[in-house]
């Protein structure tokens, strides 16, 4: 496994997610059997056991479930990005799906539980780390 803070975009289970993000599309894996969303991606549906999990485009909206402001670098390349906000968004398409993400375009003082959020796309890059990835992150709905 890489020591880079960048996600592995060519891993079989998440490749479709990262390819869609490059196109500014938000996709989630959904079971063809029981039609429930499967996040974090798995080869088999954890709800019904079916092995037919397909990626579908969804509207990137949800409600803020929780957040934290990060002030200490968890990995040296994060040092130049401090402080930043991480959060959990309960997706509108299925509120049981809690998506861990960065929260952008606001301060922690502006955040409120169940605040409407929407997806935006940002290039994820780090000081002294080669490469970059387009990642879906969330911001408060204007």
Interval 54-91: pLDDT, tens: 999 999 999 999 999 999 988 888 888 899 999 999 99
Q: How many domains does the chain have?
A: 1
Q: Dump strand ranges (E) for 21-115.
A: 27-31, 53-57, 61-70, 84-91, 98-103
pLDDT of 52 above 80? yes
Domain that holds residue 79: 15-140
pLDDT tens digits for range 86-131: 999 999 999 999 999 999 999 999 999 999 999 999 998 876 778 8
To the question of pTM greater than 0.85 for the whole model, the response is yes
Residue 29 lies in a domain: yes
Query: Could you tell me if residue 9 is inside a domain?
Result: no
Residue 4 placed within a domain: no
Q: Quickly count: other Cβ atoms within 10 Å of residue 25's Cβ.
A: 17
d(CA 142, CA 128): 34
Does 5 reside within a domain?
A: no
């Amino acid at each position: 496994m890489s020591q880079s803070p960048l996600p592995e975009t060519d891993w079989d289970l998440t490749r479709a997610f990262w390819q869609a993000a490059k196109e500014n599309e938000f996709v989630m894996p959904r079971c063809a059997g029981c039609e429930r969303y499967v996040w974090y991606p798995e080869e088999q549906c954890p709800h019904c056991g079916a092995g037919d999990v397909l990626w579908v485009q969804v509207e990137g909206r949800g409600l803020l479930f929780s957040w934290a402001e990060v002030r200490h670098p968890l990995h040296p390349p994060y040092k130049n990005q401090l402080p930043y906000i991480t959060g959990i968004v309960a997706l509108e398409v299925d509120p049981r799906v809690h998506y861990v993400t960065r929260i952008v375009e606001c301060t922690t003082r502006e955040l409120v539980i169940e605040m409407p959020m929407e997806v935006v796309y940002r290039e994820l890059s780090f000081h002294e780390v080669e490469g970059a990835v387009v990642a879906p992150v969330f911001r408060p709905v204007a």
